[in-house]
Amino acid sequence: MTASPVLSVRKLTKLFGDRTRPEAVNVGVRGVSFDVEGGEVVGLIGESGCGKTTLGRCVVGLQKPDDGHIVINDTDLASLSPARMRTFRKAVQIVFQRPETCLNPRMSVFTFVKQAMRNFDTVPRGHERARMIELAQLVGLKEEALDRFPHQLSGGERQRVAIMRALACEPSLIVLDEPTSALDVSVQAQVLRTLKDLQREVGTSFLFISHDVAVVRYICSRVMVMYLGVIVEEGPSEIVLGHPVHPYTQALLAAAPRITPKPGPHPSLKGELVLADVGPGECPVRARCPMAHERCRTAPPVTQLPEGHRVACWLAADAATDGPISIQTPSKKVPQ
Amino acid sequence: MNMRVDPMPTTPALPRRPAGPTPWRRFYYGIFGGDALGLAGTAMLAALLAIAIVGPWLVTHDPLLTTPQTLLPPTAEHWLGTDHFGRDVFSRTITSLRIDFIVAGLGVSGAILIGSLLGLVCGYVGGWFDDLVMRGVDIVQSFPLLLIAMVLILVMGPGLESIVIVTVLINIPIYARVIRGETLSRKTLEYIDAARCSGASEMSILFRHLMPNTLSPIIVHGSLNLAAAVGNVAALSFLGVGIRPPTPDLGVMVAEGTNYLVQGAWWMSIGPGLVLALTIFSLNLLGDCLEGRLDPRRTEA
Amino acid sequence: MADVLFSIEGLTIDSVRGGVRRRIVDDISLSVERGELYGLVGESGSGKSISMMASVGLAASGLEVMAGSVAFSGRALPARNQRGLRGNLSRGVSLLFQNAKGALNPFKTVDRQVERALRRSGRQTDPRAEVEVLFRVVGLNYRDFRGKYPHQISGGQAQRVAMACALATEPALLIADEPTTALDVTTERELLRFLARLCEEREMAIVLIAHNLSLVSEYCRRLSIMHAGQVVESGNLKTIFADPLHPYTRGLIAAVPDVDQPRELVPLIGNVWGGPEGIERCRFSHRCQFATPVCEARHPPAIERAGRAVHCVLYEEVPA
């Protein structure tokens, strides 16, 4: 790839909680690095509490990372003064999860979206209305909805407005933080369709955060699986969600509800995501992993598999050295 | 095979078709949510306010004019009789109502203005400013209201302005606290973050996004608070530190009247007392009704 | 085989709000057998929770039960008699809600709450010892949870504690209203599997209310699908999933993204409550691509076909 990525995250760290015991693992993001190319839709999967929302908020600059770099269109967020930051926010936008609170209840849709256009001068004055009608069409809203207030809209319509607001800024990247998980399946299908068509038409990059593997599989071309602040597996979605290598990804996939249930036993995890169970420097999944091993007490290396598939698991590292065992695709070891 | 199943005859047709929303129904349910007491309180308050506003044209006598006909019982000439200076009690009651409404209203509005602004900034900014203001609020609230009011009036000297200022001061804490709480709970909501992502300035977030959404409890507190303030002004005047005679005031009139109760001049205090009670009662009814209507848990879509 | 434990017949509920009357549950019937995990599926607002709550005598204020009857363990009562239903069913029915943490008392430790539920059930045995048993039943280690307050445990654990409370009365029927919505997929699956096991081992009947068809697909044997207060299709789950007849059922299935074979999603159009009000009609007509004037004229009757009942005029007359 010659063009530089839209978003480039390097060793991003953001921890919460007890600062007096820095050795204990806290919720948050722990040294995550990844890129999002122009026009790409990248999924970020994980259970609640795994740090995916924190990562998203850091990327749009709503939270300050403790360490690491977030580079958007070749600009490091940390290097921006508060005043520059305000104008720079145009480049990266976010859509939140909860339709009840994502819109200002005292503002009509038009006013709420217009301020984004005004603040970033994306539309010449006086042309806001015309542009907004275009945007409304794009996200599947009726023109009448522009003059409504949030309580007059349904959950799905509010999420569409939130998407419209993000689009009005004309960003290069939109972070979608569980945009459909509070919606009914039927409405979710509508919004997902809209997002997919929209992406094709506008070409904006998406970072799609979700706990639902089926939704991510539907909309994303590349996925990252996050567990306790670390990315444990990433790669093209057909590979990661079709032939997962990491036991955690396998368990997530097996647990996903299906219309036609998969026969046979499912690989499953022990217990729940608990931070306290993880010791410093060990594989974060160890406490729950059905295949955990003495060796998992040290952090596994990231194994590079073909087609940009990367896995942080000892099993994959072994498979890479001993030849393919559980992995169908031929693999080669990449020195760390 | 021809399968034909008749509709089950269990469901009766809708027994009562919903009556079309007549203007009256729309008014009663849409605005009052079917709360008859709220409607009654509002109607009563509206009547009292109307009386206070057109007061100067309603009075039958000069409320300050003393005459030799003292302590007259109610007659066709003096509807509520006369007091110990021979002044018309009816005219004085109406004038008092007007004055008390103005004093309490000014005081409460001032408190709302200053208190909400303080609460908004405290909740949003936090830090030392928040600590400072909130400790000040604690101090004001730790004294009995009437005591603090009396001391302040003694310092500033009696007069209508002092009472207004005192009403403002003792009511600031209510609004500062309420608005601060509302601001704290709302400043982390997604639409604030969304506004920030839209490039909104801090001022715009504070005044366009946070403030309008924190104001609904003020309406409830304001109406209940106005009731208390009317009572307070009357109480201060009753105790002799509020509105000074000869300026008519409901509290003063009740106080003076009590001195003549033993002589059988019940009309001197019954009129002003009743008006005072009605005012406070109607404001409370309105406040309760508003509280019910504006409670977000009761107004889901 | 038809050992019916709980059945609803012709339940009809109106909501009266701001002086306006709306029919929100329209003549629904269903029956649950002993030891069965029964699915009740529909979009939010379709009236599934409302009808289940009303069927156990817990209709919310502002709702008026107009018609229908509920039978539990062979005893039938008119649904209008909410107080009577409550009295009759409170012993044998437990409820489980979406927000488990909200259902638990935040000021009491979880073991005390389970103990209290046991005491209220009024059985003679030693409640202390029973608490431990119940914790084990729901898969929690009693020693780890003794003395813990609801805020100290996770959502999945809270749901299990709520379950322990629900099981304390040894109910014959459990109504689980979207019990997994607040949980992660891995915990969700465990809970569903646990519910299925309860049915099998304890002969308990469970009504699982959900808005996502894929949640009920694995463990339920029969289900009803509701739309706008009407049952549109009900019967054996496998048959329905293999060959959905009602356009709404088809729409719901097509709206669920598939993990294994991603395909284009076909969303349902419109909202649950759209279209003309106050007339007898198929309440799916305004969203249905096959709608005919007949659909707007009357509520389609239940048509028995291929092992299920479907309410749709499309299947009314089958050519010989």
The CATH number of the domain where B120 resides is what?
Answer: 1.10.3720.10
**pLDDT given for residue B13 in this prediction:** 42
Q: Which residue of A has its CA nearest to C183?
A: A48
**In Å, what is the CA distance from B139 to each residue of B132, B172, C284?**
11, 12, 63
How many other C-beta atoms can be found within 10 angstroms of the C-beta atom of residue B102? Answer: 14
- pLDDT bucket at C275, cuts 50 / 70 / 90: confident
Residue B18 lies inside a defined structural domain of this protein: no
Residue B21 covered by a domain: no
- In angstroms, rounded to a whole number, what is the distance separating the alpha carbons of residues B133 and B139? 10
d(CA C208, CA C205): 10
At B301 the pLDDT is: 32
Q: Which residues of C touch A48 (CB under 8 A)?
A: 184
Q: Which of A176-180, A318-322, C14-18 has the lowest mean pLDDT?
A: A318-322
Q: Would you state the pLDDT for residue C201?
A: 87
* Residues in chain C within 8 Å Cβ distance of A186: 43, 251-252, 255, 267-268
Instruction: Please tell me which residue, C162 or A19, carries the higher pLDDT value.
Output: C162
Q: Report the Cα A254 to chain-centroid distance in Å.
A: 21
C253: which chain A residues are within 8 Å (Cβ-Cβ)? Answer: 259
Instruction: For each of the domains in chain C, give its residue range(s) and CATH number, in order of start.
Output: 4-92+171-315 (3.40.50.300)
Q: Which residues of B touch A167 (CB under 8 A)?
A: none
Measured in angstroms, the CA of A174 and the nearest CA of chain B are apart by 11
pLDDT at A56: 93
State yes or no: pLDDT of C24 exceeds 50.
Answer: yes
Q: Which chains touch B (3 or more CB pairs under 8 A)?
A: A, C
Question: Could you give the 3-state DSSP secondary structure of residue A66?
Answer: coil
Q: Which two tokens stand for residue A294?
A: 């003495």
pLDDT for A185-235, tens place per residue? 888 998 999 999 999 988 899 999 999 999 999 999 999 999 988 999 999
- pLDDT number for residue C294: 85
Judged against a pLDDT cut of 50, whether residue B261 lies above it is answered with: yes
Other CB atoms within 10 A of residue A209 CB: 27
- Which pLDDT belongs to residue B86? 86
Interface residues of chain C, partner chain A, Cβ below 8 Å: 43-44, 154, 156-157, 184-190, 211-215, 217-218, 241, 251-260, 262, 264-269, 271
C66 in contact with chain B, both atoms CB, cutoff 8 A? yes
- C-alpha distances in Å from residue C120, one per residue of A102, A287, B269, C168, C170: 43, 38, 58, 9, 12
pLDDT band at A272 (very low <50, low <70, confident <90, very high): low
pLDDT in tens, B101-150: 999 999 999 999 999 999 999 999 989 999 999 999 998 888 888 888 88
User: Across the interface, do A189 and C268 touch by the CB < 8 Å criterion?
Assistant: yes
C2 touches chain B (CB under 8 A): no
CA distance C193 to C163: 13
Distance from CA of B202 to the nearest CA of A (A): 10
CA dihedral of residues B157, B163, B164, B166 (deg, nearest 10): 90
* Region A256-282 average pLDDT: 74
Q: How many domains does chain B have?
A: 1
Output the pLDDT for position B223: 85
Instruction: Check residue B79 and give its pLDDT.
Output: 84
pLDDT digits (tens, 9 = 90+) for C102-114: 888 889 999 889 8
Side chain identity, residue C131: V
What confidence score (pLDDT) does residue B21 get?
A: 61
Look up residue C246 and give its amino acid.
Answer: H
Q: Which domain holds residue B81?
A: 36-294
Does position B266 have pLDDT exceeding 80, yes or no?
yes
Segment C26-56, tens digit of pLDDT: 889 999 999 999 999 998 888 899 999 999 9
Give the per-residue pLDDT at B252: 83
* Per-residue pLDDT, A324: 47
| pLDDT band (50, 70, 90) for residue C5 | very high
pLDDT single digits (tens) B3-27: 444 443 343 444 444 455 677 777 7
Return the pLDDT at B299: 41
Helix (H/G/I), strand (E/B), else coil: B224: helix
Q: At what angle do helices A185-202 and A155-168 cross, to 10 degrees?
A: 20
Higher pLDDT, C165 or A20: C165
User: Using CA atoms, how far apart are residues B125 and A261, in angstroms rounded to an integer?
Assistant: 52
d(CA B274, CA B161): 26
Q: Is residue B29 assigned to a domain?
A: no
In a domain, B9, yes or no: no
Give contacts of B292 with chain C, Cβ < 8 Å: none
pLDDT of residue A17: 65
Q: Does residue B93 belong to any structural domain of this protein?
A: yes
- At residue C146, the pLDDT reads 87
Q: What is the pLDDT at residue C206?
A: 94
pLDDT in tens, A70-121: 999 999 998 999 889 988 999 999 999 988 899 999 899 999 999 999 999 9
Q: Is residue B43 part of a domain?
A: yes
Cβ-proximal residues to A110 (8 Å cutoff; 6+ apart), any chain: A128, A129, A132, A146, A147
Return the pLDDT at A323: 52
Share of chain C above pLDDT 90, in %: 32
CB pairs under 8 A between A and C: 108
Specify the pLDDT at position C29.
92
Strands in A75-76's sheet, in edge-to-edge order, are A28-36, A7-15, A67-72, A75-76
Task: Using a CB–CB cutoff of 8 Å, tell me whether A190 touches chain C.
Answer: yes
The larger pLDDT score, comparing residue B157 to residue A246, is at: A246
Residue B32: closest C-alpha in chain C = C18
**In the structure, what pLDDT confidence band is assigned to residue A130 with cuts at 50, 70 and 90?**
very high
Share of chain C above pLDDT 70, in %: 97
Tens of pLDDT, residues B183-233: 999 999 999 999 999 999 999 999 999 998 888 888 888 888 888 888 888
CA–CA separation, A300 vs A43, rounded Å? 23
Q: Which residue has the tokens 């239903």?
A: C85
Sign of CA dihedral C60, C61, C62, C67: positive
**Are residues C38 and C220 in contact, defined by beta-carbon separation less than 8 angstroms?**
yes
Q: How many CB atoms lie within 10 A of CB B135?
A: 9
**What average pLDDT does range A10-17 have in this prediction?**
85
Q: Which residues of B touch A151 (CB under 8 A)?
A: 301
In this complex, do C154 and A272 lie within 8 Å of one another by their Cβ atoms?
yes
What pLDDT is recorded for position C180?
A: 86
Q: Quick one: pLDDT at residue B5?
A: 41
Inform me whether the C-beta atom of residue B258 falls under 8 Å from chain A C-beta atoms: no
pLDDT confidence tier of residue B269, bands split at 50, 70 and 90? confident
Q: Over 60: is that where the pLDDT of B98 sits?
A: yes
- H or E element in which residue A7 lies: strand A7-15
How many Cβ pairs closer than 8 A exist between chain A and B? Answer: 65
- Alpha-carbon torsion, ordered C264, C212, C98, B298, to 10 deg: 80
Residues in chain B closer than 8 A to C27 (CB atoms): 8, 10-11
Query: Which pLDDT does position A21 carry in this prediction?
Result: 52
